Amino acid sequence: MRIAVVGCGAVGSFYGAKLARAGHEVHFLLRSDYETVRRQGVLVRSPDGDFEVQPRCAQGPKEIGPAELVLIGLKTTANDQFAKLLPPLAGPATVVVTLQNGLGNEEQLAPFFPAEQIMGGLCFVCLNRVAPGVIQHLGYGQVVLGEFQRPPDRRTHDLAACFREAGVPCAVTENLERAHWEKLVWNIPFNGLGVASAAGFEAFIQHFPESGPSTLNPQPPTPSECLTTDKLLADVRWARLARELMLEVIAAARALGYDVSDALADQQIERTRTMGPYKASTLIDFERGQPLELQSLFHEPLRQAIRAGVAMPRLATLCRVLKDLKRSNPLTG
């Protein structure tokens, strides 16, 4: 299969490398890492075994041309680049799969492609890009594929089989939106609280509406103040808040018509305990001074919940804290 990977950070590079190792013609659309990857390829360090691949490298989409499959690994903060990056990669039979976090990404593809060309992929994986062309895979790796605004069909299952043949566990969901909400049960607390911990628990609590107006310390937090997943769960206050956030997300999902059980919260917490000292992607972006995916991961779920008549005071507070931290950090503000 001729595959184009747009957004070659940790997620795009990892899955693109897996598909390249399986023998597919994989093209990486690169910016800052272009020279390094062109010379050295991509190295994946993994408990499953290290491996290297040499993908085909391009700096512009026209160098690649139409592909059979386009994988989008961009941060959602770069979705305004869709109009420039994607049309040269797509023909009438191209399948465009967004592997991005949060809500609304498939909808942002809809102006450029018919709905039947759009799919979503949810990645359940622990990994980081530790250097140009170097990906550290810590564990997991499953992808869940779903069709945009329609149930799965034969091509959905064919693409899942393609991932599995490349060594990627892959399942198919009957309802992509429900699967997005199920993933948010983990993403919202652990991406959000990892960054919010830079403000301290007391500052977070002071942002609750009943606590009255509050501002954070204007001094930018240092990365050492941010908590990894194991430290969040080791502190009973943060752990309780994480679970309460999960239950808010589950309540919103149910109000929107998605059958998500409260038991998912405890399942996700126990799963997270096995990850060790993991830094979620939003925390890494915060420490590096990169744009934060606030809209897709936090604001859009809150907007949809409010529209469905569900109060989410903890998520609303988290949104305020993250906004203030972003503004107070000179690297991200």
Q: Catalytic residue numbers?
A: 183
Q: What stretches of the chain adopt beta strand conformation (E)?
A: 2-6, 25-29, 42-45, 51-53, 56-58, 67-72, 90-98, 118-131, 134-147, 170-172
Question: Is the Cβ–Cβ distance between 270 and 205 less than 8 Å?
Answer: no
Distances (CA, A) of 7 to 33, 35, 77, 328: 11, 15, 11, 28
With residues binned 3-state (H G I as helix, E B as strand, rest as coil), the percentages for the chain, rounded to 5, are 50, 20, 30
CA gap 101, 297 in Å, rounded: 7
- The structure tokens listed for 168 are 């990627």
- What's the Rg (C-alpha) of the chain? 20
DSSP state, residue 303: H
Q: Which letter, b or e, does each residue of 117-145 get, where b requires 16 or more Cβ atoms within 10 Å of its Cβ?
A: bbbbbbbebbbbbeebbbbbbbeebebbb
User: Would you tell me the crossing angle of helices 154-165 and 10-21 to the nearest 10 degrees?
Assistant: 80
Question: Is the Cβ–Cβ distance between 111 and 80 less than 8 Å?
Answer: no
DSSP state, residue 149: T
